[in-house]
Amino acid sequence: QVQLVQSGAEVKEPGASVKVSCKPSGYTFTDYWLHWVRQAPGQGLEWMGWIDPNSGATSSAQKFQGRVTMTRDTSIGTTYLELTALRSDDTAVYYCARGVVITDSRLFDYWGQGTLVTVSS
C-alpha cells in the first residue's frame, strides 16, 4: 500500500534552516510529483511547492521563493524540503502529498503523517 513517511519533529531557532524528508513507498518513486503543504497551529492549509522526482524539476509558491529548496535522492527514494531563514511564523506542521492525475483532475491522494517544525528562541 502507498505510504509517505516523513522525518521527525524539529525545533529550530529563528534564522536557522530546517530540512524535512519524505519517503514514499508502495509505488515507483519517480512516477508521481510530490507536493509540500504546511499548516500553522489552528490554521488552514497552505501549498508550498512541488517536485518531480523523475527530473528533479521544482516550483514553489512565490511567497517561499528564495527560502525554500526541494530536492530528491533517487538512490534512496526520498524527497526533501529545506526552508531557510526561519521565522516564528514558519512554525507549522509540514506535509508531503502525492500529486496524481485522474481523468484530467489533479489531486493529492496520499499524504505523509506530517512533521512539526517549531521555530523558537
Residues at the site binding another protein, with contacts judged by CB under 8 A: 35, 37, 44-47, 59, 61-62, 95, 97, 102-109, 111-114
Closest to another protein by CB, 3 vs 17, is 3
Q: For residue 51, give the 3-state DSSP assignment.
A: strand
Closest to another protein by CB, 15 vs 26, is 26
Closest to another protein by CB, 3 vs 120, is 3
| Long-range contact pairs involving 10-13 (C-beta distance under 8 Å, separation at least 24) | 10/115, 10/116, 10/117, 10/118, 11/117, 11/118, 11/120, 12/86, 12/117, 12/118, 12/119, 12/120, 13/86, 13/119, 13/120, 13/121
CA within 13 Å, CB half, 32: 24
Closest to another protein by CB, 75 vs 105, is 105
CB of residue 47 to another protein, shortest distance in Å: 4
Supply 56's cell numbers: 528533479
